Amino acid sequence: MSAVTEASPKALAPPPRGGVIQSIRDSLVIARRNLIRMTRIPEVVLFGIIQPVMFVILFTYVFGGSIRVGNSTSAEVYKNFLMAGIFAQTVTFATAGSAAGIADDMQKGLVDRFRSLPMARGAVLTGRTVADLVQTAITLVVLAIVALIVGWRPGFAEPTNIGKILGAFGLLLLLGYAFTWIGALIGLSVRTPEAATSGGIIWLFPVTFISNAFVDSSQMTPWLRHIADWNPFSATVQACRQLFGDPGLSQSGAWPMQQPVWATLIYSVLIIGIFRTLAVRKYRGAAG
């Protein structure tokens, strides 16, 4: 009699294809799969747009005129001060959706299915984050239109131009993409999409509110102001206000507030480098 041994799924899986070009191709295939899925579930995109629009309207008409920006409590000044913070909050809150989506894919066994394909291991996560970036870009376009309707005017405090405005939105998308990798790691680390949603959003509240997004950080207590000034989120908000020509630029001597564009680029690249490495390693461990 001959002994029959059952090969493990890992042994049966074809070896992943290597090379940067192949990895990009595989990532684009996964991104396309996720974008098609979004079009088939339009309510996900719709609800993702409604939430930031509600923030714009509520903050504009509820807090406008009651919060001091510099030496002014004007509703018009606060409205233009606010928008960079709302834009930045929108791109970072997309993290929760990324975490929940990846956790859902894990729960449904898509990891095992992708393991059977000769594809780059990191392509599954990269494709997902790219698809989420496209959804975030669509949300930002709609949000910018709503902001213009309620009275946001680029160049309100300082002259600006279309190149600077597009550069600001580019920084926002870069920060959003960086944060989706944090969401990817969270999604791989929990067991259910519900836990991923909670884990993906709870830490964002201190990040976004201990910042210069909604209030002038100079009005905070000294120890809290230092945290806000070195917050990567605050750097992006400061950079956007600078490029949009919005009022309320922080006068802090902290380096991220003095060089916010460079700070945003450095912070975002570091976040992508660190959390992409951790997420891909976690994915490989889950697939092993």
Quote the CA–CA distance of 112 and 106 in Å, as a whole number: 9
Length of the chain measured in residues: 288
Residue 193: band (very low, low, confident or very high) from pLDDT cuts 50, 70, 90: confident
How far apart CA 35 and CA 48 sit, in angstroms, is: 14
Collapsing DSSP to helix, strand or coil, 131 comes out as helix
Decide: 94 and 182 in contact? Cβ < 8 Å: no
The residues, any chain, with a CB within 8 Å of residue 181's CB and separated by 6 or more, are: 125, 129, 271, 272, 275, 276, 279
Q: What is the pLDDT of residue 9?
A: 44
Most confident of the following: 2-6, 21-25, 133-137, 164-168: 164-168
152 or 110: which leads in pLDDT: 152
204's CB contacts (< 8 A; 6+ apart) are 92, 93, 95, 96
Q: How confident is the model at residue 219 (pLDDT cuts 50, 70, 90)?
A: confident
Q: Which residues contact 164 (CB under 8 A, 6 or more apart)?
A: 243, 244, 245
**What's the token pair of residue 208?**
């976004």
To the nearest 10°, the Cα dihedral for 96, 236, 173, 265?
Answer: -120
Of 235 and 101, which is predicted with more confidence?
235
* pLDDT at position 1: 42
Lowest pLDDT segment from 17-26, 240-249, 272-281: 17-26
Q: What is the pLDDT of residues 131-155, one digit of tens each?
A: 999 989 999 999 999 999 988 999 9
Name the β-bridge partners of 72. Answer: 69
Task: Please give the angle made by the CA atoms of 261, 237 and 69, to the nearest 5 degrees.
Answer: 125
Q: In the chain, what are the domain boundaries?
A: 18-287
Give residue 4's pLDDT band: very low, low, confident or very high (50, 70, 90).
very low
Average pLDDT, the chain: 85
C-alpha distances (whole Å) from 230 to each of 241, 249, 258, 272 are 16, 15, 11, 18
Does residue 15 surpass a pLDDT of 80? Answer: no
- The whole-angstrom separation of Cα 73 and Cα 160 is 23
Dig out the tokens for 201 from the structure: 């959003």
Model confidence pLDDT, tens digit, residues 23-70: 888 888 888 888 888 777 777 777 778 888 888 888 888 777 677 777
> pLDDT higher for 10 or 109?
109
